C-alpha cells in the first residue's frame, strides 16, 4: 500500500522567501509528526497532530514556523521569511495511536536556503 509521501523532494529558496512543505500520511493514520534533521544530526521534533485535538507545537523553533492539517489527512508545514539556518531535511511521519505507535516516515523534503 501507499506509504507517507512528501513534496517537493527538494526545495531551493532564497533567504527571506516563504516555503510550504506538504505531507500525505498513510490513509487512516490519526497521528502525524513533523521533524527536522540537519546534516549529521538527529531528528528534531517540530509539531504533532492527533485526530481533532489541538496540535502540540512545542517543538517549533520560532513563530516563522507553522503547520496545519486539513481534514485530518494532508498536512502543510510553512516556513516564513526563511533563514539559512532553516536548511535541513524536513521529515513527516504518521502512525496509528495505540498500535505500538510505530511511526512511518516519508522520504523527506531537503530544503536549502541560499
Task: Please report, as ranges, the residues that interact with other proteins according to CB under 8 A.
Answer: 4, 31, 33, 35, 41-43, 45, 48, 50, 56, 91, 93, 95, 97-98, 100-108
Closest residue by Cα to residue 32 from 76, 81, 78, 93: 93
Closest residue by Cα to residue 31 from 56, 8, 60: 56
Instruction: Specify the residue, 7 or 80, whose C-beta has the smaller distance to other proteins.
Output: 7
Instruction: Specify the residue, 80 or 107, whose C-beta has the smaller distance to other proteins.
Output: 107
Least distance to other proteins, CB of residue 56, Å: 7
Q: How far apart are CA 2 and CA 84, in angstroms?
A: 33
Amino acid at each position: 500500500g501507499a506509504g507517507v509521501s512528501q513534496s517537493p523532494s527538494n526545495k531551493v529558496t532564497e533567504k527571506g522567501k516563504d516555503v510550504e512543505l506538504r505531507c500525505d500520511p498513510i490513509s487512516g493514520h490519526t497521528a502525524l509528526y513533523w521533524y527536522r534533521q540537519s546534516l549529521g544530526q538527529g531528528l528534531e521534533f517540530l509539531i504533532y497532530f492527533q485526530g481533532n485535538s489541538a496540535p502540540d507545537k512545542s517543538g517549533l523553533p520560532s513563530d516563522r514556523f507553522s503547520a496545519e492539517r486539513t481534514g485530518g489527512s494532508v498536512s502543510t508545514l510553512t516556513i516564513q521569511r526563511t533563514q539559512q539556518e532553516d536548511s535541513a531535511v524536513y521529515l513527516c511521519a504518521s502512525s496509528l495511536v495505540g498500535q505500538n505507535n510505530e511511526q512511518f516516515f516519508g522520504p523527506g523534503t531537503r530544503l536549502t536556503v541560499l
